[in-house]
């Protein structure tokens, strides 16, 4: 039966009243509703529900207008010169650099800031430059993004040992007892690197930032991936002092894309040795002598010509966030995420079986606004998340599905084994996500991917209500089921049909 607009409005109003009663703190974030009306009109005018903030935040009209006004007000050229247009651009770049350091409360006495194309570019700089050597170690966590996982290739090539700290099920939080054992294995006299996300881009788990100091005391340099954390949380680099921090600005405020940053603690510069040089990174180069002398500080890491016209928009974006208040954004995300989790977990088929499996924490304690889930039919069979994304798109709901470049978390969550991974290797050059999914389903596993809904800067209650209503529409649905094995959500175990 089709729901009439009047009935739909009544349902929304009733749900909203219940939400306000359960999350009264939401009222303190009303300024974000005014921001949405003024700066993000296209969302409501086009009836869009945007729930992909972990993929990228949304830019406001005021950011674009201020940046365009800035560009129109002067003449700006390539900064690698001393001519008037180059000097004007250099001044804007250095002003933006200092503003970013101030935003993260990172003193220029203690940190340098390197502009990169994105967070992945920042992470690669650390990987290629860190002093990995035999006797040293690289320690990663199972829920690192692939841009962090890739650092292991540099470590292995130079003879360092690579290990992973596991996660606990079903919370997908770090097994801190095992982590401590792994941290204790380092020889402080060697170059050791511990890399972890401040917030998982899949489970939403916020790992304790106290890990930074704990690891450093045991002889580790620490790389903090703050890409998913910084959009809704305060990162104070006076209170927490990793050696390296990677951030991505479009994830924080949507515009500009193509600019990220690596913040490096000056004491850690001795652990870095760039394996090559490029235009802009050297003070002197000789072809006949085949020698080069790298520039000092951040200049040694900024290859070629920066995205110089976009970088001033980063300062505009940060001022935008500061005017709003990162704590207000975080509080709104907490309230909306809490309600979403409560409602999703309450969904049941007619036979009483749960419809939804949440990957990670089911409360808002020490977690962000990323909610990853899968749907199951009344018999416990997985519903095809790819088709669900298509159906969501038809209703104007932007989600993200797949593995989210985070294979370790998926392997832990789905109980995939080393034997499963060896089976994938047998596929050779034919191995890709689709062949992997087919193989895992054939081996009795339920999924190698999921659905991700993430709230952020200008999310509102109607966004999450429309999403939950959409998910509720799969009650008693069977035609989208895939595979033959069923899944017991309550015990988190796979059950072969007929067993």
Catalytic center residues: 405
φ/ψ (deg, to 5) at 190: -100, 170
Q: Which two tokens stand for residue 171?
A: 């919370």
d(CA 31, CA 170): 36
Whole-Å CA distances, 433 to 224, 310, 407, 446: 28, 34, 11, 14
DSSP 136: -
d(CA 469, CA 465): 6
Q: Which two tokens stand for residue 67?
A: 């940046």
Verify cis geometry, omega within 30 degrees of 0, for the bond prior to 240: no
Whole-Å CA distances, 161 to 124, 153, 436: 18, 11, 28
Residue 225 near residue 197, CB atoms below 8 Å: yes
Which residue do the tokens 């109607």 mark? 462
- The string over 135-173, giving b where at least 16 C-beta atoms fall within 10 Å of a residue's C-beta and e elsewhere, is ebbbbbbbbbbebbbebbebbeeeebbeebbebeebebb
């Amino acid at each position: 039966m089709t729901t009439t607009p009047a009935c739909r409005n009544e349902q929304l109003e009733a749900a909203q009243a219940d939400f306000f009663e359960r999350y009264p703190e939401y009222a303190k974030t009303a300024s974000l509703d005014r921001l949405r009306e003024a700066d993000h009109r296209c969302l409501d005018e086009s009836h869009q529900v945007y729930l992909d903030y972990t993929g990228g935040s949304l830019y406001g009209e005021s950011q674009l207008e201020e940046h365009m006004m800035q560009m129109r007000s002067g003449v700006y050229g390539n900064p690698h010169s001393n001519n008037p247009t180059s000097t004007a651009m250099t001044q804007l770049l250095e002003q933006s650099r200092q503003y970013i350091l101030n935003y993260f409360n990172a003193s220029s006495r203690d940190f340098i800031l390197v502009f990169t194309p994105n967070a992945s570019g920042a992470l690669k700089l650390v990987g290629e430059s860190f002093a990995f050597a035999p006797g040293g170690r690289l320690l990663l966590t199972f829920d690192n993004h692939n841009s962090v996982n890739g650092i292991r290739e540099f470590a292995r090539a130079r003879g360092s040992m690579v290990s992973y700290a596991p996660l606990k099920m079903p919370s997908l939080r770090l097994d801190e007892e095992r982590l401590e054992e792994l941290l204790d294995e380092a020889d402080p006299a060697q170059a050791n690197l511990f890399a972890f996300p401040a917030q998982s881009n899949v489970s939403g788990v916020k790992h304790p930032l106290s890990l930074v100091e704990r690891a450093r005391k045991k002889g580790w340099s620490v790389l903090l991936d703050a890409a998913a954390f910084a959009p809704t949380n305060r990162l104070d680099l006076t209170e927490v002092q990793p050696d390296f921090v990677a951030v991505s600005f479009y994830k924080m405020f949507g515009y500009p894309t193509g600019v990220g940053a690596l913040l490096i603690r000056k004491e850690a510069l001795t652990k870095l040795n760039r394996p090559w040089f490029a235009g802009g990174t050297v003070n002197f180069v000789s072809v006949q002598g085949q020698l080069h002398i790298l520039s000092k500080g951040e200049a040694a890491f900024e290859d070629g010509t920066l995205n110089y016209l976009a970088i001033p928009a980063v300062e505009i974006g940060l001022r935008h966030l500061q005017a709003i208040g990162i704590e207000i954004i975080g509080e709104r995300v907490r309230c909306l995420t809490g309600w979403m989790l409560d409602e999703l977990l309450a969904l049941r088929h007619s036979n009483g079986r749960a419809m939804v499996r949440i990957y990670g924490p089911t409360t808002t304690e020490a977690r962000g606004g990323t909610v990853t889930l899968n749907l199951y039919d009344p018999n416990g069979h997985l519903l095809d998340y790819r088709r669900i994304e298509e159906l969501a798109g038809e209703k104007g709901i932007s989600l993200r599905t797949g593995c989210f470049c985070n294979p370790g978390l998926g392997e832990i969550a789905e109980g995939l084994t080393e034997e499963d991974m060896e089976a994938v290797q047998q596929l050779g050059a034919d191995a890709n996500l689709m062949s992997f999914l087919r193989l895992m389903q054939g081996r009795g596993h339920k999924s190698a991917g999921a659905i991700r809904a993430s709230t952020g800067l200008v999310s509102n209650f109607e966004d999450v209500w429309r999403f939950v209503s959409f998910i509720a529409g799969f009650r008693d649905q069977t035609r989208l089921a895939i595979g033959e094995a069923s899944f017991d959500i309550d015990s988190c175990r796979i059950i072969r049909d007929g067993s």
